[in-house]
């Protein structure tokens, strides 16, 4: 009796239906060992199981893909949040640094301002020395701060101060009061090393022959830095201004008794 080949046996056909159903179905229909009804039923069951299996796997794949997408999105969101926090922290640090630098710059400017020579500062300095008022007028009538340069192209300043003279009883007293003011103002202004020249001018109301009163220049004293550096202001005799000044002008009216 001839032995049946293994691929025609029932057990191999069933094994193939379980392991690899396309081959199993092929063998089942080729070998024709089962009835047609049995083969149809088995075929239907196998096809249904295959469809269900593929559908389940697709759903699982889709579920896995959704889960993976959600996980990726969550990671990206977390990363964006961390980047945003880091960027916010960086911006805060930058803002704090800029504020510190601005504060430092403003502080430096505030420290520099007291040493900066300005017309406003000169007015305040002179007012502290000789007062704010001369009768019903402001003591400081005008201040001009003129910028120049020396032979070495270094910045220098000429300070031109116009004062209103105080109204005293006699011209002799008025003249002495102006000398006292000059003795206070010159050394103070020359404390600033940029100042090369100081010119003090006093104006005073004078009455002309027709009886009209007008404020005119009655005294002018100009001192250069070189001259200032040679004066010992602690022992200086204010009556010597006419002698030591680089330029001196006195109205004849001040010589009247």
Q: Band of the pLDDT at 223, cuts 50, 70, 90?
A: very high
> Under a CB-based contact definition with an 8 Å cutoff, are residues 53 and 61 in contact?
no
What number is the average pLDDT over the span 158-181? 82
What number is the average pLDDT over the span 127-143? 87
More confident residue, 142 or 52: 142
Length in residues, the chain: 257
Cα 181 from Cα 243, distance rounded (Å): 17
For residue 257, what are the contacts with CB-CB under 8 A and spacing of at least 6? 170, 171, 172
- pLDDT at site 34: 73
Directed axis angle between helix 21-31 and helix 10-19, to 10°? 150
Domain locations in the chain as residue ranges? 119-255
Q: Band of the pLDDT at 103, cuts 50, 70, 90?
A: low
Is the pLDDT assigned to residue 245 strictly greater than 80? yes
Q: What is the 3-state secondary structure (H, E, C) of the chain?
A: CCCCCHHHCHHHHHHHHHHCHHHHHHHHHHHCCCCHHHHHHHHHHHHHHHHHHHHHHHHHHHHHHHHHHHHHHHHHHHHHHHHHHHHHHHHHHHHHHHHHHHHHHHHHHHHHHHHCCCHHHHHHHHHHHHCCEECCEECEEEEEEEEEECCCCCEEEEEEEEEECCCCCCHHHHHHHHHHHHHHHHHHHCCCCCEEEEEEEEEEEEECCCCCEEEEEEEEEEEEHHHHHHCCCCCCCHHHHHHHCCEEEECHHHHCC
Tell me which residue of 104, 101, 100, 122 sits closest to 112, measured CA to CA.
104
Give the side-chain half-sphere CA count within 13 A for 250.
Answer: 18
Tell me which residue of 157, 231, 235 sits closest to 193, measured CA to CA.
157
Q: What is the separation, in whole angstroms, between the first and last Cα of the chain?
A: 170
Model pLDDT for residues 25-48, shown as the tens digit of each residue: 777 777 777 787 877 787 888 788
- pLDDT at site 110: 46
Is the pLDDT assigned to residue 257 strictly greater than 70? no
- pLDDT at site 68: 65
Chain centre to alpha carbon of residue 101 = 7
């Amino acid at each position: 009796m001839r032995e049946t080949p293994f691929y025609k046996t029932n057990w191999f056909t069933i094994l193939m239906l379980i392991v690899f159903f396309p081959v199993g179905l092929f063998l089942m229909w080729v070998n024709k060992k089962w009835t047609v009804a049995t083969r149809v039923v088995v075929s239907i069951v196998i096809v249904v199981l295959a469809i269900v299996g593929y559908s389940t796997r697709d759903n699982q794949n889709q579920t896995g893909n959704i889960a993976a997408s959600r996980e990726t999105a969550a990671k990206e969101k977390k990363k964006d949040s961390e980047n945003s926090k880091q960027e916010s922290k960086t911006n805060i640090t930058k803002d704090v640094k800029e504020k510190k630098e601005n504060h430092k710059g403003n502080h430096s400017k505030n420290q520099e301002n007291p040493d900066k020579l300005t017309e406003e500062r000169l007015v305040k300095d002179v007012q502290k020395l000789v007062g704010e008022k001369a009768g019903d007028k402001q003591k400081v009538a005008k201040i001009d701060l003129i910028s120049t340069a020396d032979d070495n192209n270094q910045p220098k300043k000429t300070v031109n101060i116009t004062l209103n003279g105080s109204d005293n009883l006699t011209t002799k007293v008025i003249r002495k009061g102006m000398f006292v003011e000059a003795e206070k103002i010159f050394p103070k202004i020359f404390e600033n090393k940029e100042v090369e020249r100081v010119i003090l001018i006093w104006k005073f109301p004078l009455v002309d022959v027709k009886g009209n009163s007008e404020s005119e220049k009655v005294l002018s004293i100009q001192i250069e830095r070189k001259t200032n550096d040679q004066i010992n202001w602690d022992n200086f005799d204010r009556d010597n201004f006419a002698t030591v000044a680089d330029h001196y002008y006195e109205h004849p009216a001040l010589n009247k008794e």
